[in-house]
Chain A
Amino acid sequence: NISPISHSLTHSDKHKHRNKMAKSPETEHPNKAFGWAARDKSGLLSPFHFSRRDNGENDVTVKILYCGVCHTDLHTIKNDWGFTYYPVVPGHEIVGIATKVGKNVTTFKEGDRVGVGVITGSCQSCESCDQDLENYCPQMAFTYNAIGSDGTKNYGGYSETIVVDQRFVLRFPEGLPSDSGAPLLCAGITVYSPMKYYGMTEPGKHLGVAGLGGLGHVAVKIGKAFGLKVTVISSSPSKEDEAINRLGADSFLVSSDPRNMKAAIGTMDYIIDTVSAVHALFPLLSLLKVNGKLVTLGLPEKPLELPIFPLVLGRKMVGGSDVGGMKETQEMLDFCAKHNITADIELIKMDEINSAMERLAKSDVRYRFVIDVANSLSPP
């Protein structure tokens, strides 16, 4: 089994961490911090006292205004993937204000509006890091549920503040709202990066977006901004009206309707598959033209079944992608600001998070919850 954070939570790391954890979360760092954490696989989140490091010379301290609720947060708090290290403070779609910058920090100053996304650490010296692909660095550390470079556990954005190395802080462009822009820090880059890498940006080509949730609805907007024809593929017929009339999709396919699906066979150049549950790839592969490309972005608990004949007979491809490097994430934010792309959000208070998670599990949100951290998170 390959765990995505196996490189940062190896057995020896856990051992090191346990030693450091001779100190409690509250005392391992000098500055008191407060957030909400899940403590076991019930996934129930509740107030949690911990601590943050001092602002180092390369660091930016961020007072958190908003934090998006990503489906990964839900998978993690419930330990769906089997590598959650409790207690976990989720949250990697963070927007806030820089309140302190270290003396080596040149790109940010106090008062700047900044973002922090899915990763907050990498080795900064390997081939991947040199190519601005920190997200593929073997030492890459996630914003939460991972071990940082100082050997302590990272806690995420369901909290008041976060301290981050400047390399992993993003400038939030003028004109991009903090609340509806926050989800771009994961959902946005997660679809933008593979669309660029796999060449899914040729105007006039036909993009299918499977799943209309947090990732999917942003993929529709970004796809339209690239000049693509966009078809939403969804199991929920009720989403059609919105998909077309509000999100701008050109057409809508109900995936559970065999006649619909059959009529669309061999019509798409690309598919972005955002579905996070285990699902059949064969019907999606059928929708692709020859040389078609399917990028799978959801993270199901079990492997998917991959039929090989359609790949061989149509020279088709299934590829993965994992967020994006920092340079590309900034490029994506600037692109979205330019094209007025924001997420469709439902703003919630911190203490509504558990019912939000229940609704998220049922895909009952249009299309991302965002926690109004600054206005609702307060220590008891």
Chain B
Amino acid sequence: MDPRHLMDYVTTYTCSRHIKLAVDHRIPTSEFGSVMEKSPENQYPVTAFGWAARDSSGVLSPFNFSRRATGEKDVTFKVLYCGICHSDLHQIKNEWGTTNYPVVPGHEIVGVVREVGDKVQKFKVGDRVGVGGLLGSCHSCENCASDLENYCPKMVITHNGTHYDGNPTYGGYSDIMVCDESFVIRFPENLPLDACAPLLCGGITSYSPLRHFGLDKHGLHVGVVGLGGIGHLALKFAKAFGVKVTVISTSPGKMKEATERLGADSFLVSSDPDQMEAAMGTMDGIIDTVSAPHPLLALLGLLKSHGKLIMVGAPDKPLELPIFPLLMGRKIVAGSSIGGIKETQEMIDFAAKYNITADIELIPIEYVNTAMERLAKADVRYRFVIDIGNSLKN
């Protein structure tokens, strides 16, 4: 897809002049030249260190930058772990055409509070906290008022975004984070920080649509397409809701794990037409986590009448939407993107109650480039998490 179309997609949701500025900042510097006057190390007073990608090769390497001083409403925390989301990979390689290098990815960030501002009420030093995909919003639009900061037209994303002061945002592959308390999530004591970092994106991305689209009712049958970072968490949340879950995957090799270890009720190989046909009209909903372009017709066929296909992966090319199955069965195709802060906290508390954690492979920061290569081949069960606390040293 022409990257300019993607820019259009983004700009349609970010109407303000301020965000137009942010979007302009996202235009690759090779085309427009750098618009930043200060170097990353001098933008703010606090020294910070992380790993960044500097071009579309996506190779990550040590990067010195800076963070703002803890403001009166800010929480500053030492990063212990950061999950690697597939969108980090899309972004470091500039697959969406919106990356402004250098980029420090990472939005499944957990750690321990080391300083709070004077007006901070919800957190104190020593608390276990996390930050997900966003760290700013306008607090005054209809979306923010409905606890839907993730749909605010002025939302600030955790990396490759722009702070309201005009400086770029750098994410969690770094030693510290400074964040307004309204966007900080508390981690209950019983949740292991490393295995729960991925909940901050992969978790909320599946939890939110299961709730919003009513696919969380006991006895319903939900399909999960793609058994990766989001998919395996969608499966765990859905099972915790009492929903029957079928994993739909192109990899027959994942079946044993899916059914025996992860608790899926059944497994469909999507490339097997007989299996797919036998399952037609059996599902109340489907959470589709696949971001590569793929056909929707067979998935719509799996839905019962009035069924819902929810896209949480975002293919960058339009997909074919066959109209007859949609109309004849009164079916819908909808999308969903992470979740608001209140719902993210609710999801974390739910995970604590039901012992839901991600299946992770803990890696040192030096392994991150190899991890990205493996992630591109879906060779991970099911999320890499960087052991920042023990391996990120300047």
Q: Which A residues fall within an 8 A CB radius of B?
A: 2-4, 81, 128, 133, 136, 194, 197, 265-266, 281-282, 286, 289-291, 296-300, 303-322
Contacts and interface: CB of A to CB of B under 8 A. Distances in A.
Contact of A266 (B6, B13, B305, B319): B13
B305 A309 contact: no
B326 interface: yes
A186 to B, nearest CB: 13
Contact of B312 (A282, A306, A312, A321): A312
A136 B316 contact: no
B143 interface: yes
Given A308-B314, A309-B314, A312-B337, A321 B330 contact: yes
B319 A308 contact: yes
A312 B314 contact: yes
B334 interface: yes
A180 B316 CA distance: 46
In the A-B complex, the 9 residue pairs with the closest CB atoms: A311-B335, A320-B326, A312-B335, A320-B327, A317-B334, A306-B321, A319-B332, A305-B318, A303-B320
A136 B329 contact: yes
Given A136-B305, A313-B337, A315-B337, A306 B320 contact: yes
B323 interface: yes
B85 to A, nearest CB: 14
Contact of A290 (B143, B212, B327): B143
Contact of B333 (A265, A311, A322): A311
B335 to A, nearest CB: 3
Contacts of B321: 281, 303-306, 318
A314 B13 contact: yes
Nearest to A137: B305
B61 to A, nearest CB: 30
A321 B305 CA distance: 10
A311 to B, nearest CB: 3
Contacts of A305: 318-321
B301 interface: yes
A321 B320 contact: no
B262 interface: no
B32 interface: no
Nearest to B321: A306
Contacts of A304: 320-321, 323
A321 B326 CA distance: 7
Given A312-B312, A314-B13, A303 B330 contact: no
Interface residues of B, number: 43
A282 B319 CA distance: 12
Contacts of A310: 9, 12, 335
17 contacts: A133-B305, A136-B305, A136-B330, A265-B15, A266-B12, A266-B15, A290-B151, A303-B322, A307-B318, A308-B311, A308-B313, A310-B9, A311-B334, A312-B335, A313-B335, A315-B335, A316-B334
Given A286-B12, A290-B148, A310-B9, A320 B319 contact: no
A300 B323 contact: yes
A33 B161 CA distance: 71
B336 A315 contact: yes
Contacts of B326: 296, 318-320
Contacts of B323: 296, 298-300, 303-304, 320
A4 B314 contact: no
Contacts of A291: 148, 151
B325 interface: yes
Interface string B216-245: 000000000000000000000000000000
Nearest to A322: B327
A45 to B, nearest CB: 25
Interface of B: 6, 9-10, 12-13, 15, 142-143, 148, 151, 153, 212, 296-297, 301, 305-306, 311-316, 318-337
Nearest to A3: B324
Nearest to A316: B335
B333 A306 contact: yes
B335 A197 contact: no
Contacts, number: 138
B319 A306 contact: yes
B10 A313 contact: yes
B13 A313 contact: yes
B322 A317 contact: no
A212 to B, nearest CB: 20
A306 B13 contact: no
Contacts of A282: 318
Contacts of A3: 324
Contacts of A290: 13, 142-143, 148, 151
Given A265-B15, A291-B148, 4 more contacts: A266-B153, A315-B151, A315-B337, A322-B327
A309 B333 CA distance: 12
Given A306-B320, A320-B327, A312 B332 contact: no
A313 B15 contact: no
A2 B332 contact: no
A4 B322 CA distance: 12
Contacts of B143: 290
A345 B293 CA distance: 44
B325 A308 contact: no
A319 B212 CA distance: 16
Interface centre among A194, A266, A318 (most CB of B within 10 A): A318
B179 to A, nearest CB: 22
Nearest to B148: A290
B311 A312 contact: yes
B328 to A, nearest CB: 5
B333 A317 contact: yes
Contact of A309 (B6, B212, B296, B297): B6
B151 A2 contact: no
Interface centre among A266, A296, A311, A320 (most CB of B within 10 A): A320
Given A281-B321, A308-B314, A320 B335 contact: no
Interface centre among A81, A266, A290, A300 (most CB of B within 10 A): A290
A3 B327 CA distance: 11
Contacts of A281: 321
B330 A4 contact: no
Nearest to A311: B335
Contacts of B212: 315
Contacts of B15: 265-266
Contacts of B153: 266
Contacts of A307: 9, 318
Nearest to B312: A312
A282 to B, nearest CB: 7
Contacts of B314: 308-309, 312
B284 to A, nearest CB: 13
B330 A314 contact: no
Contacts of A81: 324
B151 A308 contact: no
A197 B334 contact: no
B204 to A, nearest CB: 13
Contacts of A289: 142
